[in-house]
Amino acid sequence: MSSDQSSDTSLLHFLNCEALDLNLFRGQSRDFKTGQVYGGQVLGQAIKAAYQTTDGTRGIHSAHAYFLLRGDVDAPIIYEVDRSLDGGSFSSRRVVAIQHGRQIFHLSASFQKHEEGLEYSEKWQPPFELLQQALDKGITEETNFQSEYLDVWYVPHEQATRRDSTQYWFKTKEALPDDLATHHTVLAYISDMGPLEATVEPHSLNAPKLEDRHKKVMLATIDHAIWFHRPFRADDWLFYECRAQSTGNGRGLAYGRIYTKDGTLVASTSQEGLLRIRR
């Protein structure tokens, strides 16, 4: 890790992509002591690169990604953006992430001009009172990449509203600028944390505690999708609930919902990944 990387604790600096040429960008990696690049980093940087090829009047509304190879934490990542379409209302982009001359990830993303229309949002009140109680006691999670960039508080399993899920509150430690691209990039970064963990929840694996169950399985993201429904701020508390949908054939599938404090649904995710018992 270079001295510049290690000394800058800004999440925005970390997720930023340097423009190398037309449609070509470079992002830096960080070693979070996991032995591989965190998937949310690649997803967030790819979305940031795609945003840099739009005119600024269109916001991303959906992204679909495949994780092909494990990323090398000691090497930068090159992002090549294909400007597939710039239509009257929508823009489509395809992003390929490359390390050591090989594709490690690719993303399809769609951007749309804002327009007025029928408005409906699933409403559900997340347990903000539990977060407030934890904050009053000074409790937040302090693990790997989260502690540097994010405030995170996991809802204890016995207090979760649904037992086949993982639930947590999060926000950035730093205040963010107002542009939507920044908040979308940050939300994509955090959205990779939680779905695969939820697929372990239905299985005891002779270990009652979730952290002990994680030691018995290998988890790795295969594909990830995210839909952005309406504006939000990633520097204010958001609630992420991930629910297991299916496990089998060495894979697990989970759906996620992200809400504001008042229960407004701002984004939805789905993720499938490897779920293999360690031998």
| Amino acid in the structure at residue 102 | R
Please report, for residues 10, 14, 18, 222, 230, the alpha-carbon distance to residue 149 in angstroms, rounded to integers and kept in the order given. 7, 10, 20, 25, 23
d(CA 35, CA 147): 18
Catalytic residue among 41, 140, 166, 192: 192
- For the chain, how many residues are written? 279
Is 221 an active-site residue?
yes
List 41, 166, 199, 221, catalytic entry: 221
Q: Does the active-site annotation cover 146? A: no
Question: What are the structure tokens assigned to 120, written together?
Answer: 């409906």
Which one of 185, 199, 260, 271 is the catalytic residue?
271
Does residue 271 have an active-site annotation? yes
**The tokens of 7 are what?**
């000394």
Instruction: Of 64, 50, 45, 62, give the one whose Cα is nearest residue 267.
Output: 62
CB-based contacts of 212, cutoff 8 Å, min separation 6: none
DSSP letter string, 145-209: HHHHHEEEEEPPGGG-SSTTEEEEEEEESS---S-HHHHHHHHHHHHTSSHHHHHHTT--TT-SS
Q: Which residues are catalytic?
A: 192, 221, 271
